[in-house]
Structure 1
């Protein structure tokens, strides 16, 4: 991989490292591995349960998630049945376990109607060792799918965090994102969420939209702040292959695949810095390049979950599961045809097949170390030397000497206990993630044929 000093000469937005390795590094597992064997040697007393609902009212132009817009109603019903089959088979394979975090994502889970939402919560209660009322439990919504009855069902089930993608309060900017959204619908949805009494409201905004300026971005942030959300995420726009915006860009010879390269200079860094400063002035704490937390956000008195160390169990087509040595999921696609084919394959499976992992990636010792470093370093407080040493038996600076470049180039500070990115380092998080990606994973990502 290139030297960090050389990468810093490129524009800062190279790739978003929200998970490592990325799903484009996954491949078929032959022969399939029984889940009971995969989880047998893992700690199962502090797991994260994630359910994926891959349905939406419409597909936004920037979206590369595993999602299908306006599915046939019968397919939705069949999907919920399959989710229960998968959850039951997975819980049996886990044997003794405990979930301490829960999220219902997508897609748009609130695309489901009231009775379907009740069905989802009922299956979780039946098959998983989990108490949603006693742990952090979140759901993703979109403005047009929010109504009082759905929110009531979610709150009564134990959901305490609602995350809603606004992207922008400017109707011209959401049109540029190929997102049919009206501000009055957004305002009404926020009001309904507040009325329902959820302790945590998160709002997502995007910067880098065509026609957006610093002034218009700050106006959207100020509109969001008027609702005093407990959390705000600021996402840079990435135009990815096979998304609506990606198809437009591809006609003009745009970037494809995972490759570090110069991109046209844009205003995203200036927009990020302006947005960050506005939120810090408003009293928010920066947790990562993207996440900002309000001073009035509730303190979570809940069982500890550590994303670097504890496992995740994903249920549903498109959901990922993480053990220490193997990550697995269903296949990945973006184009509607590819998503529909993968979904049909999921719907045709028998329950016994859900007791095995047949698609994913095994992490050797080096990849396990890299994942731990990426997951720790790109959020605050940062990478603890003692925690790394306890897990891997050596110091992180010895295992990955390239980390010393962060200090030498003024992107991080190290007091002997904690290696932590400073403000400049956080601003370059989307360069640092790709920089820490191994050559082998980068090659697998480049070789992946996205459908």
Structure 2
């Protein structure tokens, strides 16, 4: 008798390993040594701005509310110093080219237009990113998507603006501790469309307490009215503030919530597909007739990433590294304060070594969670082994759950629709024992 499938909503795996597996690095290795032998002709730049005007009830990101005492100025000063040190570490022996860029957070548009211009200058003048020649994605919120900020970003080359709406139903927004008026959300969307930036992405959340197919459709249709090029549908990962919290049996609460989220996911997926959207991953849907946002030859499975800011990660083939991580507001403030006071950014502080087996896991995981799947030949060419030899028991288990697409073309390892629906159950199944142990030993702060 086969074991039951894992719960469908265990954790959102957007990177491997999670930062809770990172630890202080012995000897604090020099960045110049870490990057010396790395390919640097198709890098990604990510700048992290850890400020928001309000902290949503579902948020566990590295961010703080507000920025008193010119904190944003001091943060950008530190970001400038870090960028200078990182670019020096990359060197000029081999060509250094950035293929894509993103500003995230937090909320990057918490910064003023003048501060956003400085952020763009840091990316261009310090790091050498041609923002007008590569895809540039910027996250925003209804309250901070002001005309002057958006105009500045459009002028500096933004190709994608992503706005976290979460719900167009005001009662649901309040339940998620995301106070906002629909009229303000619609006005912000209008301002984004007025910029002419080619890609609008709208984030929505399902699984909010009291949310039904009918109310979920209200949000879906309100978003579709703007014909966004992209839509992200995120499951809620914080227990509802009421409703399920009143159920005495936690197991029953979990089962009921899982059923609600799966039901709403399938409804949203089918609704978007019926309206001309293609599913890219469990979360991402792209309008079928939307043109490309620009040249993009960056591949997250193989190419390096440079992270700037105290919540950003950087990836080399041998090491993933960042700064300290926290969720508690006091701890986040402390880490940001330490970052702004740092003068020497030439060394890596916290991280996790990506050995051969871990690199294989990451490649399989990040490829498999995309709807297009993973060409087996590409994996074999990179690692000199077969994914079926390296992960045979895992893949056999996924096949037993019905998570693998039996009708995929020969040579393509791809999830079935049911596998995509269970991406947040499948992803953690591929974590190594070492990563699981490190995450379990992490002391939350």
TM-score range, shorter chain: over 0.9
Shift of 1:50: 0.3
Change (3 A) 1:13 1:303: closer
Q: Deviations over 1:212-235 (max 9, x none)?
A: 011111111011000000000000
Q: Deviations over 1:290-347 (max 9, x none)?
A: 0000023222451411000001100001001011110000111111101011111111
User: What does residue range 22-421 of structure 1 map to in structure 2 within 5 Å?
Assistant: 22-96=18-92, 97-239=96-238, 263-266=254-257, 267-350=260-343, 352=344, 354-401=345-392, 402-413=394-405, 414-421=408-415
Equivalent pair of 2:282/2:420 in contact (CA under 8 Å)? yes
For residues 291 and 57 of structure 2, the distance between their equivalents in structure 1, rounded to whole angstroms, comes to 34
Equivalent pair of 1:203/1:229 in contact (CA under 8 Å)? yes
* Structure 2 stretches lacking a partner, 5+ long: none
For residues 400 and 256 of structure 2, the distance between their equivalents in structure 1, rounded to whole angstroms, comes to 26
Change (3 A) 1:80 1:167: same
1:424 aligns with 2:418: yes
SS at match of 2:185: helix
Which runs of structure 1 show a deviation greater than 6 angstroms over 4 or more consecutive aligned residues?
Answer: 252-255
For residues 67 and 245 of structure 2, the distance between their equivalents in structure 1, rounded to whole angstroms, comes to 27
SS at match of 1:51: strand
Q: How many residue pairs end up in the alignment?
A: 436
1:435 aligns with 2:429: yes
Equivalent pair of 1:46/1:303 in contact (CA under 8 Å)? no
For residues 342 and 141 of structure 1, the distance between their equivalents in structure 2, rounded to whole angstroms, comes to 23
Q: Deviations over 1:55-78 (max 9, x none)?
A: 000100100110000121411110
For residues 187 and 116 of structure 2, the distance between their equivalents in structure 1, rounded to whole angstroms, comes to 21
Report the equivalent of 1:258. Answer: none
1:6 aligns with 2:12: no
For residues 174 and 300 of structure 1, the distance between their equivalents in structure 2, rounded to whole angstroms, comes to 30
Shift of 1:364: 1.5
TM value normalised by structure 2: 0.94
For residues 127 and 4 of structure 2, the distance between their equivalents in structure 1, rounded to whole angstroms, comes to 45
Q: Deviations over 1:196-246 (max 9, x none)?
A: 111000000000001101111111101100000000000000018xxx969
For residues 409 and 59 of structure 1, the distance between their equivalents in structure 2, rounded to whole angstroms, comes to 38
SS at match of 2:372: coil
Change (3 A) 1:301 1:318: closer
SS at match of 2:62: coil
Q: Deviations over 1:243-279 (max 9, x none)?
A: x969x969x9979xxxxx9934220000000000000
TM value normalised by structure 1: 0.93
For residues 215 and 108 of structure 1, the distance between their equivalents in structure 2, rounded to whole angstroms, comes to 30
SS at match of 2:366: helix
For residues 107 and 40 of structure 1, the distance between their equivalents in structure 2, rounded to whole angstroms, comes to 31
Report the equivalent of 1:16. Answer: 12
Equivalent pair of 1:110/1:142 in contact (CA under 8 Å)? yes
Shift of 1:133: 1.0
For residues 321 and 423 of structure 1, the distance between their equivalents in structure 2, rounded to whole angstroms, comes to 32
For residues 245 and 131 of structure 2, the distance between their equivalents in structure 1, rounded to whole angstroms, comes to 43
